[in-house]
Chains A and B, each alone.
Chain A
């Protein structure tokens, strides 16, 4: 399984944009880039995913480097409710894959009022 590397922690001010980086230098052509976040004492929540092109949804944007070796999750205006652990995960699209999500340590985002 390909690995991802994220900073342990980041800080942001409320209502400012947040850019959460992720490195995945061993990504394969069949890996989708997924982001999940986990609030304290809750299960992880899906945020966004993409393959090659940048993606936008109501929660966030995902910017994927041209060589796909890195990506950035963008929260356009951080709120206090966005304080969570953010996980960047690679998920193989091949039918032979188990579909399991391999979690790293993630990035703990603190949002200051």
Chain B
């Protein structure tokens, strides 16, 4: 089945450690996005990529890094510089960035807890 897969579903890390969240899609989508969601809040954009080997900062990029070496993959690294990394992280994709008449597909999320 086509879709977008995030792994793992739950992740625990010690404070000060970097951690990488996986996001893979087999929908042949050009655009991919990372969002963060805190309890009771809406989603906030961390990074986005409109095409392979290109990505831009979103609204809350500090303390995060990404890469887009393959069309199918857009991993997110939460670095030790992120002050409050515990959150629910969501990855999304869409056919292309510049088509507002197309839908976005979301993964099931990774819940990161830093202790």
Q: Are A43 and B100 in contact (CB under 8 A)?
A: no
Residues on A with beta carbons closer than 8 Å to the beta carbon of B82: none
Whether A49 is near chain B, meaning CB under 8 Å from some CB there, is: yes
Residues on B with beta carbons closer than 8 Å to the beta carbon of A34: 100, 103
Q: Are B98 and A96 in contact (CB under 8 A)?
A: yes
Question: Given known contacts A98-B50, A106-B42, is B105 in contact with A46 (CB within 8 Å)?
Answer: yes
Residues on B with beta carbons closer than 8 Å to the beta carbon of A101: 33, 43, 45, 92, 104
Mark the stretch among A14-22, A64-72, A75-83, A86-94 that contacts chain B.
Answer: A86-94
Question: Given known contacts A99-B94, A102-B45, is B106 in contact with A44 (CB within 8 Å)?
Answer: yes
- Docked Cα-Cα span, A96 to B103, in Å, equals 17
Q: Encode B96-115 as 1/0 by CB contact (under 8 A) with A.
A: 11111101111111010000
Whether B26 is near chain A, meaning CB under 8 Å from some CB there, is: no
- Docked Cα-Cα span, A95 to B43, in Å, equals 23
Q: Are A100 and B103 in contact (CB under 8 A)?
A: no
Question: Given known contacts A92-B100, A93-B100, is B107 in contact with A100 (CB within 8 Å)?
Answer: no
Cβ-neighbour of A43 out of B31, B48, B99, B106 (below 8 A): B106
Q: Closest CB-CB distance, A70 to chain B, in whole Å?
A: 18
CB-CB contacts below 8 Å: A24-55 with B: 30-32, 34, 36, 41-46, 49, 51
Residues of A within 8 A of B (CB): 30-32, 34, 36, 41-46, 49, 51, 87, 91-106
Residues of B within 8 A of A (CB): 6, 31, 33, 35, 41-45, 48, 50, 56, 58, 88, 90, 92, 94, 96-101, 103-109, 111
